[in-house]
Amino acid sequence: MRQYLLSICFDGTDFHGWQYQPNAVTVQELLHSALKLLCGSEVPPPLGCSRTDAGVHAEVFCCTVRTEKEWACPALVRALNGNLPRTVRVLGCEEVALDFHPRYDCTGKRYRYQLWNAAAENPFLLRYSYHERFPLDAQRLNELAQPLLGTHDFSAFCAAGAGTKTSVRTVTRADFARRGDLLLFTVQADGFLYNMVRIMAGTLLQCAKAPHSLPPIEQIIAGRERKNAGVTLPPQGLFLEWVGYQDREYKGV
């Protein structure tokens, strides 16, 4: 048995996330189907570095596949891309040890949430951003985001049904940058909870638009109650853009 680590990218618009879902199309399902065509029906499902929600995009996503067949990595990349829809692409491949796990060996991930901050929607970004008409100040948002940095229990920024053993995560980056009317919220951490970035973004926007509608971010964190935080922004603005491991990293396209 051999194990290969794949770096892939996908437009999540038409998918119900990475992981297998009943009666729904997922990236894991499509990749597994392509693998079975190439390696036989007994090939196990690929394992991913995280679970992405329906509609969320990945500029890079890491997963492992196992097969008894030996592949030259360039040949496996070409073969998989020939059997996948154009909205999913395999970017790279390398053979790794059988005890490597793409999720549990991951040391960090970075997400970007995109907001189109203008009076009118941008038709070219409807699938890739959240439209916010209210004029936002990136500097003020960065001030509001500062308490998110560090190691905290982020229960207040986790949707129900997560099923994680612990809600403690270490956030090393949380900042906004403006590129014209496009506002980018970037968050890097050693791990993420269910809907964590989307809840963070929704909370910070609400604090900026209506300063007294929510408690201060420090109190929201300390309270560890989801009801104290803001809304969950929709998935189409969210991109996974970086995945890190102890001895390697993968950046988005």
| Residue 253 falls inside a structural domain | no
Asked if residue 11 belongs to a domain, the reply is yes
Three-class secondary structure of residue 235 per DSSP? helix
Asked if residue 140 and residue 44 are part of one domain, the reply reads no
One domain, residues 84 and 123: no
Domain count, the chain: 2
Tell me the C-alpha to C-alpha distance, in Å, between residue 164 and each of 128, 158, 160, 167, 169.
28, 10, 10, 7, 11
Same domain, 27 and 144: no
Transcribe 26-62 into DSSP letters: -HHHHHHHHHHHHH-TTPPPPEESS-PPTT-EEEEEE
11 is catalytic: no
Last residue of a domain, one of 71, 96, 121: 96
User: What is residue 162's predicted lDDT score, i.e. its pLDDT?
Assistant: 66
49 and 146 inside one domain: no
CA separation for the pair 250, 61 (Å, rounded): 8
pLDDT of amino acid 40: 84
CATH number, domain of 223, equals 3.30.70.660
The pLDDT score that the predictor gives to residue 182 is 98
From first to last of its 253 residues, the chain has per-residue pLDDT tens of 999 999 999 999 999 999 998 889 999 999 999 999 998 888 999 999 998 899 999 999 999 999 998 999 999 999 999 999 999 999 999 999 999 999 999 999 999 999 999 999 999 999 999 999 999 999 999 999 999 999 999 999 998 876 678 999 999 999 999 999 999 999 999 999 999 999 999 999 999 999 889 999 999 999 999 999 999 999 999 999 999 999 899 998 7
Q: What is the pTM of this model?
A: 0.95
Expressed as residue numbers, the domain containing 121 is 107-245
Whether residues 23 and 63 share a domain: the answer is: yes
In this structure, are 62 and 147 located in the same domain?
Answer: no
Catalytic residue among 53, 99, 105, 153: 53
Distance (Å, whole) CA 220 – CA 121: 31
- Measure the CA dihedral 209/215/217/218, to 10°: 160
Residues 187 and 212 in one domain: yes
Answer yes or no: do 135 and 231 share one domain: yes
CATH of the domain at 75: 3.30.70.580
